[in-house]
């Protein structure tokens, strides 16, 4: 929230009435619109630029295709009185709303204008956003919010708070219907932080954007801890620690360009498929490099990103939550021009185990893909769930079940590939055939089992090992025996638990052919109001 105690920018003087014939009225209109477009004052614009921030209109110009923006309610003003508000009634009331195109497709956008009331939300301000959101839902087009506001307008009291309630209600109504993207370009405190949290993706800019429920002053007063705004809720904190932000960038121009890229990978709504692009990357291209990237030894790490680069079009993909829960990768990419969502264990971080944060990250990504008709490819190299008191007390059962529920509930095409190890419950959770994967493939380096051979042998042959003259030699022999019996690469294929064992170099073409076959897949869920997923 904001009390607007800082000196307000100079307000432009009211436009003088002009002659009351038709041409005079038109001239008056142009003068008023020019005042609205110009904003409160040049000094206010300079102050915004001095902070390293663009104005709301400059941001919209970067986001949308040139000349495509159509503004709504440019001349809207608040009707509040008291606390000096009746003397300050700027056009737009601190938020610019409208629609335009991104890569030729319609996108709705609203942008807070920090130069007017610090971007604070009042009743008229909120109604403009409500109207825009209703139109976005009705038109079936993405909604992008460019957030740069200090919260509710305290001078308007509960009416401002009710305005937030209307936004939250529409965020929820639009969830899974149209893509919703929040771009944080300034401070976002209190209840205002909940609208971005309800949307599909959150972008932040380092140094200039922050999100928190209670600011540093309140935190210090209650807990005694001293922390800066960026230390409490800056872009790096939310991108790497809290997981609130999906993307973080150094400047606004780069951030908004990446928003455009993300929109190019998403459908306009849940009734459409993602846009297709013609790819010059041959669909039957062999990826021989995969044979060298992934070591046969299951204990040796490697970067799963290199695997993804080899199988997607031109090695290009957009990683979501790149710096949070790094033991699992979630990415959007194209294969033969078709958009796919990729979920993959990352052996380079925590050996690729599933833990609380990885489960939450992947579950939300799977749900997003399913909501917007994006097929899911899962690449497995997972040794299990992370053991530990902290994980168990933190609810790894409950959080791991979120990922399980998301996969089981997804009706889009689902293909999984076991690259190396896939042990225990983590193998089941990572879209195994038993929970509904449409197709499951494995490389000849795969090891699908209840647990690793060493652990299994120690349990099964505990007495024989203990009674042997040379326990270590006996243990090595039993491990070898267990691998030969239950962990050879064709064990799962012989039992129909994988559809085929494939040459790693053929992974790209196998996936593309499989996705083409599944493109017309139709699956019905039981009739119900909604499920009750684990929380």
Enzyme catalytic residues? 190-191, 425-426
User: Do the Cβ atoms of 62 and 261 come closer than 8 Å?
Assistant: no
**Whole-number Å distance between alpha carbons of 174 and 150:** 24
User: How many CB atoms sit inside 10 A of residue 299's CB?
Assistant: 10
> Which tokens hold the place of 160?
């401002």
Nearest to 90 by CA among 155, 149, 42, 39: 39
**Whole-number Å distance between alpha carbons of 319 and 382:** 19
Q: Report the relative pairing of strands 414-423 and 439-442 from DSSP bridges.
A: parallel
Nearest to 134 by CA among 155, 108, 157: 108
Strand ranges for 215-320 from DSSP E? 247-249, 317-320
List CB contacts of 280: < 8 A, sequence separation 6 or more: 314
3-state secondary structure of 380: strand
Question: 378 phi and psi, to 5 degrees?
Answer: -115, 125
User: Do the Cβ atoms of 168 and 130 come closer than 8 Å?
Assistant: no
Distance, first Cα to last Cα, the chain: 29
- Measured at the CA of 383, the angle between CA 382 and CA 384, to 5 degrees, comes to 95
User: Do the Cβ atoms of 277 and 334 come closer than 8 Å?
Assistant: yes
Helical segments of 431-502, H only:
453-460, 462-467, 471-486, 491-494
């Amino acid at each position: 929230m904001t009390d607007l105690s800082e000196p307000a920018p100079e307000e432009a003087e009211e436009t003088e009435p002009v002659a009351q014939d038709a041409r005079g009225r038109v001239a008056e209109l142009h003068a008023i619109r020019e005042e609205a477009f110009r904003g409160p004052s040049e000094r206010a614009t300079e102050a915004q630029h001095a902070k390293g921030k663009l104005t709301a209109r400059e941001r919209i110009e970067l986001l949308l295709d040139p000349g495509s923006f159509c503004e709504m309610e440019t001349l809207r003003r608040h009707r509040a009185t008291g606390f000096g508000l009746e003397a300050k009634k700027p056009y737009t009331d601190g938020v610019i709303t409208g629609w335009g195109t991104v890569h030729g497709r319609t996108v709705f956008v609203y942008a807070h204008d920090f130069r007017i009331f610090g971007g604070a939300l009042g009743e008229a301000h909120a109604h403009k956003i409500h109207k825009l959101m209703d139109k976005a839902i009705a038109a079936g087009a993405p909604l992008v919010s460019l957030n740069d506001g200090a919260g509710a307008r305290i001078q308007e009291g509960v009416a401002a708070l009710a305005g937030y309630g209307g936004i939250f209600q529409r965020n929820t109504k639009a969830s899974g219907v149209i893509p919703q993207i929040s771009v944080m370009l300034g401070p976002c405190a209190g209840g205002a932080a909940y609208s971005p949290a309800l949307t599909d993706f959150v972008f932040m800019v380092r140094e200039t954007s922050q999100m928190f429920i209670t600011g540093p002053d309140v935190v210090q007063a209650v807990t005694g801890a001293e922390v800066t705004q960026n230390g409490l809720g800056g872009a790096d904190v939310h991108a790497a620690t809290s997981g609130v932000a999906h993307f973080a960038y150094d400047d606004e121009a780069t951030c908004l360009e990446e928003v455009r890229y993300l929109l190019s990978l998403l459908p306009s709504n849940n009734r459409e498929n993602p846009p297709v692009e013609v790819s010059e990357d041959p669909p039957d291209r062999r990826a021989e490099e995969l044979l060298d990237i992934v070591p046969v030894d299951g204990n040796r790490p490697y970067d799963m990103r290199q695997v993804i680069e080899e199988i997607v079009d031109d090695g290009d993909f957009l990683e979501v939550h790149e710096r949070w829960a790094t033991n699992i990768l979630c990415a959007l990419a194209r294969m033969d021009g078709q958009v796919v969502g990729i979920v993959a264990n990352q052996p380079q971080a925590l050996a690729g185990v599933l833990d609380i944060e990885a489960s939450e990250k992947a579950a939300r990504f799977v749900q997003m893909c399913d909501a917007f008709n994006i097929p899911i490819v899962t690449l497995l190299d997972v040794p299990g769930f992370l053991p530990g008191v902290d994980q168990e007390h933190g609810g790894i059962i409950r959080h791991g079940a979120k990922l399980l529920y998301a996969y089981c509930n997804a009706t889009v095409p689902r293909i999984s590939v076991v690259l190396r190890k896939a042990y225990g419950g983590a193998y089941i959770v990572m879209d195994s055939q038993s929970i509904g994967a449409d197709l499951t493939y494995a490389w000849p380096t795969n090891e699908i089992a209840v647990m690793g051979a060493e652990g299994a042998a120690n349990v099964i042959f505990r007495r024989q090992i203990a009674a042997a003259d040379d326990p270590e030699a006996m243990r090595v022999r039993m491990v070898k025996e267990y691998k030969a019996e239950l962990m050879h690469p064709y064990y799962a294929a012989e039992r129909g638990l994988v559809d085929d064992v494939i040459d790693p170099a053929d992974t790209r073409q196998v996936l593309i052919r499989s996705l083409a076959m599944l493109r017309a897949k139709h699956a019905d869920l039981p009739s119900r109001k909604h499920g009750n997923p684990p929380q």
